[in-house]
Amino acid sequence: MLQYHWSKYRDSWFILWPVHAREDKTRHSVRHLHHPFTSTVYFVCEHACYTVIALLLLVEMQTFSLLVVCFAATGGVYAHGGIFNYTIAGAEYNGHYPFLLEEDQAESIQRRWWPDPIRDVGHPCLACNRGNPLASRHPSIHAPIRAGESITVFYQPPELPNNHHAPTEWSVPWKNEPNPPMKPFGASYPWPHVLGPMTAYMAPCNGPCSEFDPTGEDKVWFKIYESGYLRHTDPSTGEPYPLERHEAWNQNNYTTQGWTVTIPRYIKPGNYLIRHEIIMLELLPPQFYPSCGQLSITGEGEELPGQAFLVSFPGAYSMKDPGLAISGSLYGAKYNYTIPGPKVWEGGQKG
């Protein structure tokens, strides 16, 4: 039996594990944070087992310390997150909620997604994620927006309907998928990650986006937004926050308040996919959380990026990219970070 400490931090339950204790990197459900005040490694509970423990511990919190014996137990239940709602040119759109059956939901602008992350730069669903069970079709709705207007996305899960039906079968669309994949937590599970870059890409659908496949070797994607390491100064030290600190990343703000991206001002009108992506760098391999929404863009622009800005998914990333190779090693890393992928297309901002 081992001694653990529990604490509530950023609305998540954490377990404090002595730093010399066993480090199990094979279990994704565990993530590590280096506490600034103690030489202790935090392991975040993402298992249902721990949710039960956490509830039990609510009673015991005053003691701030107790014995836990089932830490090694692994459930099959994971939960992560993604974009649940969009505000596009001032109009609100529900996303396609992954913890509800596809046929139980109204049409959405969002392609069906899966909160369990993608962990491979070569994953065939890296472009637009995948459903669980897999989506049987793409949405037909496109959100209207003028070039130069903005889109805000929200990672807070909505309340579940009382009598919702959760999926009962799991999809394993690829050999490297975890088995079993995520089982939805619904509204009980807010976005849990902080450390890593945020990027947004677009791809022209050249017709209805419901008939457009943006995956594979075709270089159709270009980046319109990126935010990585902020290099903000820690007032208590006068030094930049290191990469392991929440304050060093924009996720710290946007995934709770909404993340706003502006459509390039002079982009050529038409139907486009917009792909928001957060990469989680705390573990190796890194975790990719892409999500795609369908837009119908109007405006007077005529611009599209040149070949140098275009990438494919998969294909845009390599584990040799410095911004991905660093995953799992943020602690003690230097004060810089290189966001993976192509340069942001600035063309829409000229004029």
Q: How many residues bind Cu ion (CB under 5 A)?
A: 1
DSSP structure class, residue 343: P
Q: What track of x and - describes contact with Cu ion for positions 48 through 87 (by CB under 5 A)?
A: --------------------------------x-------
Our CB check for Cu ion shows the closer of 11 and 103 to be: 11
Least distance in angstroms from the C-beta of 155 to Cu ion: 12
C-beta closer to Cu ion: residue 54 or 141: 54
Strand partners, 148: none
Residue 32 CB, shortest distance to Cu ion, in Å, is: 13
In the complex, minimum distance from the CB of residue 80 to Cu ion, in angstroms, rounded to a whole number = 3
Cα distances (angstroms) measured from residue 134 to each of 80, 99, 127:
17, 12, 15
CB of 274 to Cu ion, least distance (A): 22
User: Is 276 near Cu ion (CB under 5 A)?
Assistant: no
Q: Which residue, 135 or 195, is less far from Cu ion as judged by CB?
A: 195
Return the closest-CA partner of residue 311 out of 126, 83, 151, 82.
126
SS3 at position 31: coil
- Which residue number places its CB atom closest to Cu ion? 80
Nearest approach in angstroms of CB 287 to Cu ion is: 6
- Complex with Cu ion: residue 196 or 305, whichever CB lies closer: 196
- Closest by CA position to 28, among listed 249, 197, 182, 170: 182
- What is the 3-state composition of the chain as percent helix, strand, coil, each rounded to the nearest 5? 15, 25, 60
In the range 169-228, which residues lie near Cu ion by CB under 5 A? none
Is 31 or 142 the residue whose CB approaches Cu ion more closely?
A: 31
Nearer to Cu ion, 34 or 138 (CB): 34
DSSP 132-151: SSPPSS-----EEEETT-EE
- How near is the Cβ of 266 to Cu ion at its closest, in Å? 37
Collect all residues with Cβ–Cβ distance below 8 Å to 237 and sequence separation of at least 6: none
Q: How far is the CB of 283 from Cu ion (least distance, A)?
A: 9
Cis peptide before 285 (omega within 30 of 0): yes
What DSSP character marks residue 52?
Answer: H
Q: Give the residue with the Cβ less far from Cu ion, 80 or 276.
A: 80
- Give the residue among 263, 55, 41 at the shortest CA–CA distance from 147: 263
List residues near Cu ion by CB under 5 A.
Answer: 80
